Amino acid sequence: MRGTQSNAAGTAMTELEHSHHPEAIRRRLDDGRRPSYLRDALLGGIDGCVTTFAVVASVAGAGLPGIVAFGLGLASLIADGFSMGVSNYQGVKSDRDALEQTRRVENRHIRETPDGEREEIRQIFARKGFEGEVLEQIVDTITGDESLWVETMLREEHGLDLQGSEPLRAALWTFGAFVLVGAVPLLPFMLPAMGLDVAFAVSATLTALTFFGIGFAKGMVLGEGRWRAGLETLLMGGGAAVIAYLVGGIFEPMMADVGLVVH
User: Which band of pLDDT confidence, cut at 50, 70 and 90, is reported for residue 16?
Assistant: very low
Higher pLDDT, 7 or 214: 214
End-to-end CA separation in angstroms for the chain: 61
Residue 35 and residue 164 in contact, taking contact as beta carbons nearer than 8 Å: yes
Sign for the pseudo-dihedral over CA of 214, 220, 223, 227: positive
The answer, as to whether pTM is greater than 0.85, is no
Q: Please determine, for residue 18, whether its predicted confidence score (pLDDT) is greater than 80.
A: no
Does 229 fall in a domain?
yes
Range of the domain at 69: 38-257
Hey, is 223 helix, strand or coil?
coil
Confidence category of residue 262, pLDDT binned at 50, 70, 90: very low
Q: Can you give the pLDDT at residue 251?
A: 58
Q: Is the pLDDT of residue 8 over 80?
A: no
* 216 confidence band (pLDDT: 50, 70, 90): confident
pLDDT at 21: 66
Q: 7 in a domain, yes or no?
A: no
Any domain includes 32: no
Q: Give 33's DSSP letter.
A: P
Q: Does some domain include residue 126? A: yes
Say what the pLDDT of residue 254 is.
55
In a domain, 18, yes or no: no
What number is the average pLDDT over the span 222-237? 83
pLDDT tens for each residue of 183-192? 999 999 888 7
How confident is the model over 245-258, as a mean pLDDT?
59
**How many structural domains are present in the chain?**
1
3-state secondary structure 60-92: HHCCCCHHHHHHHHHHHHHHHHHHHHHHHHHHH
Question: pLDDT tens across 26-35, in order?
Answer: 665 556 566 7
How many other C-beta atoms can be found within 10 angstroms of the C-beta atom of residue 1? 5
Distance from C-alpha of 260 to C-alpha of 253, rounded to nearest angstrom: 10
The answer as to whether 31 is a domain residue is no
Q: Give the integer Cα–Cα distance in Å for 85 and 81.
A: 6
Is the pLDDT confidence value at 93 over 70? Answer: yes
Q: Mean pLDDT throughout 16-43? A: 67
Q: What is the C-alpha radius of gyration for the chain, rounded to an integer number of angstroms? A: 27
Nearest 10 degrees: CA dihedral of 240, 242, 247, 248?
110
- Give the chain's mean pLDDT: 81
- Higher pLDDT: 5 or 117? It is 117
Q: What percent of the chain has pLDDT over 90?
A: 35
Rounded distance, CA 263 to CA 261, Å? Answer: 7
In a domain? residue 262? no
Please check the confidence at residue 5 and state whether its pLDDT lies above 50: no
Cα–Cα dist 20/14, whole Å = 10
- DSSP letter at 118 equals H
For position 239, what pLDDT does the model report?
Answer: 78
Q: Is residue 162 part of a domain?
A: yes
Other Cβ atoms less than 10 A from the Cβ of 147: the count is 9
Contact 175, 84 (CB under 8 A): yes
Residue 175 and residue 43 in contact, taking contact as beta carbons nearer than 8 Å: no
